[in-house]
Amino acid sequence: MATYAVDSKRQMMTATGVVNSVHEWEDTPEGRRQSERQAVDEETRLPLWAVEVNYRTVSFDRELTARAQVTVPAPLRPEIADYSPIEFGDLVASARVTKTGQLVESWRAGGIASHTPRKDTGKGTSGDKAA
């Protein structure tokens, strides 16, 4: 898998406001699947979060908007305003080819460098589970 450092100031991204926990993968008798346990960063031991972003790219001479999940470690779920600019620290992109020949990207960052926080922080969101 090829991995490339990305300058977050030059690769403009817009956060959609969707942030989900990243879950560990486990091997079961039925095969590999996601577990209920939240994954943690190996270096910082902080929980991992998937921050959904949109960005512009060019593929085969066509400009388009791409959507990606950027995995970041953070002690608490990042509260990010819907469709706001976002910058990441230590952003890297990895590319690999699947068994079917598709090119797949994955994004990871050391943290969030700057973003606009949600105005409804603490009020809950429709994705929150009841206790």
- The C-alpha atoms of residue 110 and residue 42 are separated, in whole angstroms, by 12
Q: Which residue has the tokens 């995995």?
A: 71
Q: Which residue has the tokens 């939240």?
A: 38
Span 91-111, average pLDDT? 94
Q: Output the CA–CA distances (angstroms, integers) from residue 81 to 46, 75, 115, 119, in the order listed.
A: 22, 18, 8, 7
Is the overall model pTM greater than 0.75, yes or no?
Answer: yes
Span 37-58, average pLDDT? 96
Res 1 pLDDT > 80:
no
Residue pLDDT, tens place only, 60-83: 899 999 999 999 999 999 999 999
Span 42-62, average pLDDT? 95
Res 130 pLDDT > 60:
no
Calculated CA dihedral for residues 61, 62, 67, 69, nearest 10 degrees: 0
Look over the chain and give the mean of its residue pLDDT values, rounded to a whole number. 89
